[in-house]
Amino acid sequence: MTMLDTVKLSNQQISLFHEQGFLLLPEAFSGSVSKNIQKWADEISRLPEKIGKHWVYHETSLLDEKKDLINRIENMTPFHKGLSILANSFIPSCGQLLGEEAVLFKDKINFKMPGGDGFKPHQDSQAGWEAYAAYFINVMVCIDEATIENGCLELASRPVEMAKVELMGKEWTPLSEEETAMMNFKPYPTKPGDVIYFDSYAPHKSAHNYTDKPRRLYFSTYNRLSEGNHLETYYVDKRKNFPPDVEREVDKDYVYRV
Ligand SMILES: O=C(O)CCC(=O)C(=O)O
Ligand SMILES: [Fe+2]
């Protein structure tokens, strides 16, 4: 089993994170570690979809309506050793950014296969996260090269005049055109092994993938341990409204929100 290097952030990086709401860390992982992460993503996507295991969501290709794609896999740490080691490897650096001990809240891989849809502008705390903790940090690990063409992550810096880090839109709906009018979104193309930290109030979005290559990105999320360990409750709650595809009732409508 590969051991992952623990990321250690400098004071300058920590300040930049708090100023912008995000921090880029190019080449955080070496080529061989990145290859392992790609292998783990392949492995988890090949495991059978069973009730009580990792959560798999599908989508219909925007390029071919007969084609079913894996959209996202969540709740992976109990079911894959490597992906569990990956999630745990960020606890120290997220602790540095939080100023106290961090705990894992959730983890997922967004697959965005050829024909996969994008994400409307939002802040992650709009997805009801404030019910669990006041503040979270996401870590994005680039699995496949993410480009402007295949829908890399786009982030907006925190407005300088913003005194408090808070929601700029409503819960459960994406940011509106009015709310994003003054935001300056910038695409951040990444290569395998690059990492981006961004907090749960950092506005972000990404475009669909109309290229012929997958754009898989890994995301894990952490909160202050002093605000509680919510991973299990989060998934129990989410299962009620938005369970994985294998657990869905045929005649029920499920809507992805935010
Ligand atoms: O995968 C992406 O491009 C962004 C995903 C995202 O914002 C989310 O899952 O909350
Ligand atoms: Fe998001």
pLDDT tens digits for range 7-46: 999 999 999 999 999 999 999 999 999 999 999 999 999 9
pLDDT (mean) for 136-143 = 98
Spatial distance between the Cα atoms of 174 and 43, rounded to a whole number of angstroms:
32
* Cβ-based neighbour number of residue 176 at 10 Å: 13
Q: Are 189 and 26 in contact (CB under 8 A)?
A: no
Collapsed DSSP state (helix, strand, coil) of residue 15:
helix
Per-residue confidence band for 164, with pLDDT thresholds at 50, 70 and 90:
confident
In angstroms, the Cα distances linking 158 to 22, 102, 139, 173, 175 are: 9, 23, 17, 20, 15
pLDDT (mean) for 65-82 = 98
pLDDT (mean) for 111-121 = 98
| Cβ of 126 below 6 Å from ligand 1 | no
Q: Are 81 and 4 in contact (CB under 8 A)?
A: no
Ligand nearest to the CA of 119: 1
pLDDT of residue 114: 98
Q: Are 111 and 214 in contact (CB under 8 A)?
A: yes
Whole-number percent of the chain with pLDDT over 90: 95
Residue of the nearest CA to atom 6 in ligand 1? 119
Computed over every residue of the chain, the mean pLDDT equals 96
Collapsed DSSP state (helix, strand, coil) of residue 78:
coil
Window from 123-137, 147-161, 191-205 with minimum mean pLDDT: 147-161
Whole-number percent of the chain with pLDDT over 70: 99
Spatial distance between the Cα atoms of 248 and 80, rounded to a whole number of angstroms:
23
**pLDDT (tens digit, 9 = 90+) per residue, 202-254?**
999 999 999 999 999 999 999 999 999 999 999 999 999 999 999 999 999 99
Q: Is the pLDDT of residue 126 over 70?
A: yes
Q: Are 218 and 44 in contact (CB under 8 A)?
A: no
Residue of the nearest CA to atom 10 in ligand 1? 124
Q: Is the pLDDT of residue 151 over 90?
A: yes
Ligand nearest to the CA of 205: 1
pTM of the model: 0.97
The total number of residues written for the chain in this structure: 258
If one residue of 219, 242, 256 were mutated to test the ligand 1 pocket, choosing by the most ligand atoms within 8 A of its CB, it would be 219
pLDDT of residue 247: 96
Q: For residue 220, report the distance from its CA to the centre of ligand 1, in Å.
A: 11
pLDDT of residue 159: 81
Going by C-alpha positions, the residue among 14, 223, 219 that lies closest to residue 103 is: 223
Collapsed DSSP state (helix, strand, coil) of residue 40:
helix
| Cβ of 96 below 6 Å from ligand 1 | no
| Cβ of 206 below 6 Å from ligand 1 | yes
70, β-bridge pairs = 58
Q: For residue 209, report the distance from its CA to the centre of ligand 1, in Å.
A: 13
Give me the CATH code for the 18-247 domain, please. Answer: 2.60.120.620
Q: For residue 205, report the distance from its CA to the centre of ligand 2, in Å.
A: 7
Q: Where exactly are the structural domains of the chain?
A: 18-247
Burial string for 68-86 (b: 16+ CB within 10 Å, else e) reads: ebbbbbbbbbebbebbbbb
| Cβ of 124 below 6 Å from ligand 1 | yes
| Ligand 1 closest atom vs CA 112 | 1
